[in-house]
């Protein structure tokens, strides 16, 4: 295999993984959007709500961890790696959503109420760390 072929194949793999990662991040964003009142992008952009921003960014970081671990664990097998990345990423998104619902019910920290608050709330910090921790747990499970 020539250098050009190696670079072309590697570039294609990078582009494919990036596409799956971006799709998962968009799905994750819309799942967070579903769990919050109003349109999340508007709440962040117009209201500049720090709670909504923290929850969205922590979810994106968690998905990024899962995608990176899935790529790492693929061992150079592109088809299996892409499929694993998509499946494990979706599992991570589902687990994050379930965790938010559990926190809402068990601990009494409501995402819907948090994003109505104009100042950064302790509950948003807790949920943000929960997002990242779940992403890390899922990422390590993938490896």
Q: What pLDDT, on a 0 to 100 scale, did the predictor assign at position 15?
A: 95
Q: What pLDDT, on a 0 to 100 scale, did the predictor assign at position 111?
A: 84
Q: Is the pLDDT of residue 35 over 80?
A: no
- ∠16-99-101 over CA atoms, to 5°? 115
Q: What pLDDT, on a 0 to 100 scale, did the predictor assign at position 115?
A: 85
pLDDT band at 39 (very low <50, low <70, confident <90, very high): confident
pLDDT band at 51 (very low <50, low <70, confident <90, very high): very high
Q: Is the pLDDT of residue 91 over 80?
A: yes
Cα separation, 96 vs 39, in Å, equals 19
Q: What pLDDT, on a 0 to 100 scale, did the predictor assign at position 142?
A: 84
Share of the chain above pLDDT 70, in %: 100
For the chain, percent helix, then strand, then coil, each to nearest 5?
85, 0, 15
Q: Where are the beta strands (DSSP E) in 74-119?
A: none
Query: Domains of the chain: which residue ranges?
Result: 3-142
């Amino acid at each position: 295999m020539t250098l050009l072929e190696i670079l072309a194949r590697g570039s294609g793999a990078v582009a494919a993984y990036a596409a799956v990662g971006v799709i998962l991040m968009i799905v994750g964003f819309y799942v967070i959007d579903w769990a919050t009142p109003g349109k999340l992008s508007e709440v962040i952009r117009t209201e500049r709500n720090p709670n909504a921003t923290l929850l969205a960014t922590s979810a994106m970081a968690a998905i990024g961890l899962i995608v990176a671990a899935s790529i790492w664990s693929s061992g150079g097998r592109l088809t299996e790696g892409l499929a694993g990345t998509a499946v494990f990423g979706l599992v991570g998104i589902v687990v994050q959503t379930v965790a938010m619902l559990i926190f809402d019910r068990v601990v009494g920290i409501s995402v819907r109420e948090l994003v109505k608050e104009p100042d950064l709330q302790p509950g948003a910090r807790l949920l943000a760390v929960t997002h990242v921790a779940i992403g890390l747990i899922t990422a390590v499970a993938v490896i």
